[in-house]
């Protein structure tokens, strides 16, 4: 078996954000790099928010996934710079968020957020801070459902 970046990347596809289990750490932009040098593997990750409690869980899951697949000679490095941004979220990731009921980050601002339930743009911000540090709380004025919006960061 050849251990290359693609192979590791594929294995890590099963490591998801524990708060949003439909989206992988690659889709989310947390997985920054996979470096392989003389059989030594380095997985580079970056936190979404500095106090994100999911980071420890994510490290553990990377650890378990790689070991389960017989990979032992790796280490996990956390980098802060460049700081994580929602621009790194993949298009696929944004679609998965939406399907899950979370409005994906909207680069044009918070005035035209689409309700993930009914598709209406008639929505209002309820609170800048939602169920986790990375989300705000919105409400749809048409279907009246509250929903999480993944903040543009």
Partner 1 sequence: MNENLFNYILQQADNCLILGQRLGEWCGHGPVLEQDIAMTNIALDLIGQSRMLYQYAAEVQDEGKSEDDLAYLRDAWDFKNVLLVEQTNGDFAKTILRQFLFDSFNCPFYEKLKDSNDERLAAIAEKSHKEALYHLKWSSDWVLRLGDGTEESHERIQNALEELWSYSEEIVNPSEADDDAKEKGYGVDLDAIKSERTDKIKEVLEEATLAVPEGTYNHSGGKEGKHTEYLGYILADLQFLQRAYPGNEW
Q: Which is nearer to partner 1, 74 or 138 (CB)?
A: 138
Residues 142 and 122: their CA atoms lie apart, in Å, by 6
82-141 residues near partner 1, rule: CB under 8 A: 82-84, 126-131, 133, 137
Say if residues 88 and 96 touch (Cβ distance below 8 Å).
Answer: no
Lay out the site mask for partner 1 across 23-62 (x = CB under 8 A, - = otherwise). Answer: ------------------------x-xxxxx---------
Q: Which is nearer to partner 1, 18 or 36 (CB)?
A: 18
For residue 92, the minimal CB distance to partner 1 (Å) is 24
Q: Specify burial of residue 40 (Cβ count, 10 A radius: 0-12, 13-18, 19+).
A: exposed
No. of H helices and E strands in the chain? Answer: 4, 9
Q: Which is nearer to partner 1, 116 or 130 (CB)?
A: 130
Residues 50 and 133: their CA atoms lie apart, in Å, by 10
Q: Which residues bind partner 1 (CB under 8 A)?
A: 47, 49-53, 79-84, 126-131, 133, 137, 151, 153
């Amino acid at each position: 078996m050849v251990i290359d970046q693609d192979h590791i990347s594929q294995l890590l596809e099963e490591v998801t954000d524990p708060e949003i289990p439909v989206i992988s750490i690659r889709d989310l932009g947390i997985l920054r790099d996979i470096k392989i040098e003389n059989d030594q593997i380095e997985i580079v990750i970056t936190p979404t928010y500095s106090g994100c409690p999911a980071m420890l869980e994510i490290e553990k899951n990377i650890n378990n996934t790689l070991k389960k697949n017989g990979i032992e000679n790796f280490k996990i490095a956390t980098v802060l710079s460049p700081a994580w941004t929602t621009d790194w979220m993949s298009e696929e990731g944004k679609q998965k968020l939406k399907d899950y009921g979370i409005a994906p980050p909207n680069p044009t601002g918070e005035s035209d957020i689409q309700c993930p339930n009914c598709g209406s743009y008639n929505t209002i911000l309820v609170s800048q801070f939602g169920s986790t540090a990375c989300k705000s709380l919105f409400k749809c004025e048409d279907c009246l459902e509250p929903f999480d919006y993944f903040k543009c960061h």
